[in-house]
Amino acid sequence: MRISLCEDLCPLLTTEVTDKLIANKVISVEDLVLCDLPKVRQISRQSDVHFQTLLDIRDQLYTRFVAKPFNAFKLYNKTISLKPLKTTIKNLDQMLPKGIPRGQVTQIYGESGSGKTQFCYTLMASVAKLYGQRVLYFDTELSFDSSRLIQIINNRFPAINEQKLDQLLDYILVTRTNPLSEYKQLKLIIIDSMSSPATLEMKKTNYKSNIQDQRANSSGARKLHHQLKVRMTQMVTSLRAFAVKHSMAIIVVNSQVMAKKYYWNNSCNTCLQFVRHNEDINSKEITISLMQSYDTRADNHKSDNKFTISLKGIN
């Protein structure tokens, strides 16, 4: 979409200057910001607008409307300079390159009772304790258990006193409705889980009834399914951009179906699968597998490890 020149875009772009530029067929922001210096000089002479003034207008419009390109070397240096967040789970920190990567989205997925939320509580407690910075737990399932979090902190870090415990809890923010854009000074964001936002998206489009209506029309059903996949892709793309912009780690919790059916596995930088050792939902033994990592430093030889759910969280 072309943006027409007007006084509201820039303080130097007065009505008089705007009219002169339009008279010389410089009508939109694009017409001006894409001009090289010889072209700007030519426009200056033809429109009788001072050359330096025209340059200043072009620079201000460029800053406001044109995305600045990244220098690949600087971008790479920024990425490797972001130290991962230690989980304090020894085998997991060895499996990953020293912890959860920042500036990226990490997915954890698995069936109910496989320890995903217990891992989130363990990670929140560890980040608050080690880094003394705030983390955000996005409680989409409305199931946050503060007493379990306190139990993990007390058992994982037995030396802390009551005052220190209050301080750690103050670092941990829990929300259910606020948009992510309100939270920027954070070390970590956890969304537990993405299934609820996906369900809301299905309700918006009346997905189930539409699928039933379209059963006789397989192409219609495929179209609705594709639309939902596109929406999920938009979600993870926004999360990745947010993680990069604010140099934070983002964890998304997914069910087995959501991870595989809607391409979250293909969209997240790192994917960890949680599996119970047996069908007993109360089982304390789990396996965490590194299913995907774009980081070449990840230890592929330790891609599968057994862990225990205890009073300390995940061990």
Contact 155, 308 (CB under 8 A): no
Amino acid at 313: G
pLDDT at position 33 over 80: yes
List the one residue out of 147, 125, 136 whose CA is nearest residue 252: 136
pLDDT at position 280 over 90: no
Tokens of 233: 């892709």
Phi, psi dihedrals of residue 270, rounded to the nearest 5°: -130, 135
Amino acid at 73: F
Q: Which long-range contacts (CB under 8 A, 24 or more apart) does 30-38 make?
A: 30/2, 30/3, 31/5, 32/5, 32/57, 32/58, 32/61, 33/58, 33/61, 33/62, 33/65, 33/66
137-163 pLDDT, tens digit per residue, is 999 888 999 999 999 999 999 999 999
Contacts of 94 (CB under 8 A, 6+ apart): 299, 302
pLDDT at position 214 over 50: no
Alpha helices, DSSP H only, in 205-217? 207-213
Exposure on the CB side of residue 53, measured as CA atoms within 13 A: 16
302-315 pLDDT, tens digit per residue, is 566 889 999 999 98
Q: What percent of the chain has pLDDT over 70?
A: 76
DSSP state of 216: T
pLDDT at position 30 over 90: no
**Alpha-carbon separation of residue 24 from 16, 40, 190, 230, 273 (angstroms):** 13, 12, 53, 43, 61
Measured from the Cβ of residue 64, the count of other Cβ atoms closer than 10 Å reads 12
Over residues 236-247, the mean pLDDT reads 83
Contact 271, 265 (CB under 8 A): yes
pLDDT at position 216 over 70: no
Alpha helices, DSSP H only, in the chain? 15-23, 29-33, 37-47, 51-65, 72-81, 90-95, 116-131, 146-156, 162-171, 195-204, 207-213, 218-246, 256-261, 264-267
Over residues 56-85, the mean pLDDT reads 75
